[in-house]
Structures are given as structure tokens and as C-alpha cells.
Structure 1
Amino acid sequence: MSSGLIGKKVGMTSVFEDDGRNIACTVIEAGPNIVTQVKHADGADGYDAVQLAFDDKKEKRTTSALKGHFDKAGAAPKKQVVEFRSFEGDVDLGDVLNVDDVFTEGETIDVVGVSKGKGFQGVVKRHGFGGVGMATHGQSDQQRHSGSIGASADPSRVFKGTRMAGRTGGDRTKVKNLRVVRVLPDHNAILVKGSVPGAKNSYVELHKK
């Protein structure tokens, strides 16, 4: 069986646990996934992996090469294709994996997604700087500036990696050890405790531990 699934972040909700606590959960639509390729270490690929595809897309928006790739698996063109390097059990080309085939309630998983893009931001929002307080560090007129960024004659340059203003967000991000609170096979959905990276309707990868 695959070591994970591709999903789509639907939004957030809350559920009551048996002890009466109300916990925040992220709702993820996680299936059905189609096996579009199986790779083996002793084959031409040289490593073991399972390629999964999720979410139908229009055939006219699919290249001929990709259409032929999906046809081999007997699947319609898909929007998202992800390769999982480790897997348990046997899967075959064209197999359909649903959320209850892979995950069980109570286990912990890792979720990978692309974080929300926030555009060009200053050092206070991007790195959590406290601001210079209009006092020192080479800055006197704006609270949220970074202040001095370099040394004097030696080394006479700004070191690489110095934290400055710049583009924030839009990075591949992994959140580890999220507990599976509910598995909803009728809706092909899974509820995990806490938040996961990305905006609503963005794709995420769900990896078993």
C-alpha cells in the first residue's frame, strides 16, 4: 500500500473528543488517488517508488505525452501527480487508493504543502525583528527598519545570509506529527488536528510515519 496520498485542503472545523475537549482540525479531501506508475529498484528506474495522481482536469488542457501516460493507467487526466519513494505492500498500475485504504484514526502523519505567499515583506514580519525603537543601530526615523546591516572597514561587506526584507511565503513546508482525528470514507476526507500549510483548495501531500 502507498505510504501516503495526495489531498486538497478544504478548510478548518472543530470536533469534540471523547473527553469533551473541542479541538481545531483541518479538513483534507484525500482521494481517490490513482496509481499512474510503479518504479522498482531492479528496473530501469533504479529505485522503488509509487506515483499517484489526483483531481481530474480537462483533457484539452493536457499535453499528448501526459495523456498517453495517464492512458497506460486507464485514468483520466489529473491535475496533481506526486511520487512517494516508500510504500508498503503491493500496488499495481491503475489501482485506486481511497483515504480509508491508507490512514486510520489515531495515527500521526506528516503534511507537506506550499505555504501562503505574502509578497515582499519587511524584517519585522518576515523574521520577527522587534524594530530598532528609533534609538540606535544606524536607524533613527522608522520603527520597523532593520537598522545597520554591515561592519566597518573589516570585512567591508555584508555577509551572505543576513536576514533582510524580501519575498515571504510560497515555500514548500512540512508540518510533522499531526494526529488523524477522523477518517470519513463517504466523503474521501480526513481530519487532522491542527493547521497545515497552504491556502484553501491548495494541494498537500499526506505522508505516513
Structure 2
Amino acid sequence: MPQGLIGRKIGMTSVFGEDGKNIPCTVIEAGPCVVTQVKTAETDGYTAVQLAFDDKKEKNTSKPMLGHFQKANTTPKRKLVEFRDWEGLQLGDVVTVDLFSNDSWVDVVGITKGKGFQGVVKRHGFGGVGGRTHGQHNRQRHPGSLGASSYPSRVFPGKRLAGRTGGDRVKIFNLRILKVIPESNLLLVKGSVPGAKGSYIIIEK
């Protein structure tokens, strides 16, 4: 995993570009993140840094984790993420939104909105059985016929059926940073990113 930050999705807005066009963008609160652990090849078998984001109450933190954060001389945090092969950081260092610059490109990782158990029309875009006439009654959004006969007498794995939708880890590649606002720890990223408002996301350089 390349260098990056942990952030929180604030919501969407739009800004006007130099050509006067209205550009939709996502507002992300990125950092500041504290280095809570530095892993090395000698002790852990690989090199990485662990970043922590978003303060948490001590009473809601286990004692082992309290000791973990005290080693870094920081308050308890809610979200911990490892970034592989990132050297030059020390325990307790703070990484801010200054890691990014205007008009640079990033990848964003998030957990998509959970939709619960959904049918095939919403989940896979099926067209449904058809119109209301000719005896269709209440089957407009049903999957219709999609199985085999006596052979193979089973449903193959991966068949597109109803089921739990959303809640998946998704990475969006090559999003352009329209603006960095260091005084507020904000990033304006062109387009949409996965997740609901207030959800944690990872921004990778």
C-alpha cells in the first residue's frame, strides 16, 4: 500500500472550474493522523507504519490499546490503518493533509452503503417479468425463470440472485484533488467516493 491518510467523508458539494463549468466533488476530512507503530523487517518481517485517526474516549478503549497509544504519546483513536513500505516516519509523528497537493491524483478506499437484503432488480438490474397485463398480477419485480432443469439440478455458484447488497470494500482509482485546505484538514476530490456521510475512508497517493 502506498503512502496515504485516513479520513472521513463529509459529503458532496460542487465548485466552479477555470472554464466556468460546475464540477461535483466530495469533501473529505483527511487527518491529522498519528504514527502509532513502526514495523520493520527485523521485528515484523515487513516494513510499514500504522496510522491512527479520530479521537476516542478512554473509557471506551481497552487497557492493551491504551498502552499502545501511550507509547506513541497520543490519545486513543478509533481507526487504525497500516501503510506498507513507508519509511522515514517515527513513532508519534503527525501526518497532515499537507501530504497531498492541488491537481494531484489519489485512490480512495471506502465501505459502500449497506442496502440490506435486496431483490434482483435493485441488486443486478434485472428487468423484472414484465407488464401488469396477461395475468402477470404481482410479479413485476420478480426474477422470472433462471434455473436449469433435471440436469444439473442445482444452482451454480455465482448465480445472480437476491441477497445482501452493499457493505463492500471498494477502491476508486485516479480521482483528482481539486483543492487542499490545510487549515481545516480538508480535501476536495473530484467525483464521488464510496461510503455514507461520516464513514471512514483511506486516501492513497
Q: How many residues align?
A: 201
- The residue number in structure 2 matching 1:39 is 39
Structure 1 position 147, deviation (Å)? 1.4
Structure 1 position 149, deviation (Å)? 3.0
- The residue number in structure 1 matching 2:117 is 120
Structure 1 position 99, deviation (Å)? 0.1
Alpha-carbon distance between aligned partners in 1 of 2:103 and 2:137, rounded to the nearest angstrom: 54
SS of equivalent to 2:66: helix
User: Is residue 61 of structure 2 the alignment partner of residue 62 of structure 1?
Assistant: yes
- The residue number in structure 2 matching 1:7 is 7
CA shift in 2, pair 1:67/1:19, >3 Å: same
Among candidates 151, 166, 181, match of residue 184 of structure 1: 181
How do 1:1-209 residues align onto structure 2 when only pairs under 5 Å count? 3-41=3-41, 43-87=42-86, 89-100=87-98, 102-133=99-130, 141-208=138-205
Alpha-carbon distance between aligned partners in 1 of 2:125 and 2:84, rounded to the nearest angstrom: 36
Alpha-carbon distance between aligned partners in 2 of 1:162 and 1:156, rounded to the nearest angstrom: 14
Moved beyond 6 Å, runs of 4+: none
SS of equivalent to 2:6: strand
Alpha-carbon distance between aligned partners in 2 of 1:31 and 1:117, rounded to the nearest angstrom: 25
- TM-score, normalization: structure 1? 0.92
Alpha-carbon distance between aligned partners in 1 of 2:104 and 2:126, rounded to the nearest angstrom: 37
SS of equivalent to 1:80: strand
Question: 1:13 is matched by which residue type in structure 2?
Answer: T
Structure 2 unpaired stretches of 5+: none
Structure 1 position 69, deviation (Å)? 0.5
Structure 1 position 141, deviation (Å)? 4.9
Structure 1 unpaired stretches of 5+: none
